[in-house]
A and B are shown apart, each in its own frame.
Chain A
């Protein structure tokens, strides 16, 4: 039976290995066809920010990979509004991550959902397994 898995991302994409590790675990778990959600809180919101360029730090960029997650039926990206606001960001600063809805003639739909801190707490409380990165 599939369980509800939540991956909570709180760290900036580079500088530590947390964001990349989280993404890899999500890809592996998704292969087992679980119900997967992602949460982006605190500096974690930078993981899906637009226009990332890693040339200067000599690391492979992985921001493009978030847009592949729709192919893995991972299409619930919860982003905390307060975390965006505290960093002077809005939804327009995030990558337009979409998935194709198989049940709706492959129509492209947004994966990102901006939620308040209170709504995020509600979403987190509904999970079977929560993994923090």
Chain B
């Protein structure tokens, strides 16, 4: 699979995740989201940016449980629950947000 953007072809794996994490740009996130009929707003970007920072620090994508806890701590308790995260990323906050953030699927995620 590949994503065509600005005349460039970005390699994706069979589930639509970036093959090379270093290819990521915000435009790619927007394009991947619009391919799934999601328009990224500030609240989506909060989560995407958090995931990228987490990956930068720990070299893994966090499990949903960890993401939920960490979001609650950083962005406020009202956002640290799966209802809020699923409202932003209905296909699963781990899977879907990590995809837009250019990260691999979280370890242990099926």
Contact = CB atoms under 8 A, between A and B. Distances in A.
B73 to A, nearest CB: 8
Contact of B70 (A27, A28, A62, A71): A71
A24 B59 CA distance: 12
A61 interface: yes
A17 interface: no
Tell me if A's interface is mostly helix, strand, loop or mixed: helix
Given A60-B59, A65-B59, 19 more contacts: A24-B107, A27-B60, A27-B63, A28-B107, A28-B108, A31-B63, A31-B65, A62-B59, A64-B57, A64-B59, A65-B58, A68-B54, A68-B60, A68-B66, A71-B62, A71-B66, A71-B69, A71-B70, A72-B65
A35 to B, nearest CB: 16
Which 5 A-B residue pairs are closest in the complex by CB-CB distance? A68-B58, A28-B108, A71-B66, A27-B107, A31-B108
Contacts of B58: 64-65, 67-68
Nearest to B69: A71
Q: How large is the interface on B (under 10, 10 to 19, 20 to 34, 35 or more residues)?
A: 10 to 19
Contact of A61 (B59, B63, B66, B107): B59
28 contacts: A24-B107, A27-B60, A27-B63, A27-B108, A28-B107, A28-B108, A31-B63, A31-B65, A31-B108, A60-B59, A61-B59, A64-B57, A64-B58, A65-B58, A65-B59, A67-B58, A68-B57, A68-B58, A68-B60, A68-B62, A68-B66, A71-B66, A71-B69, A71-B70, A72-B63, A72-B65, A72-B66, A106-B73
Task: For chain A, give the interface size range.
Answer: 10 to 19
A30 B69 CA distance: 15
Q: Which of A61, A65, A68, A106 has the most CB of B within 10 A?
A: A68
A62 B70 CA distance: 21
Interface in A65-97: 65, 67-68, 71-72
A88 to B, nearest CB: 28
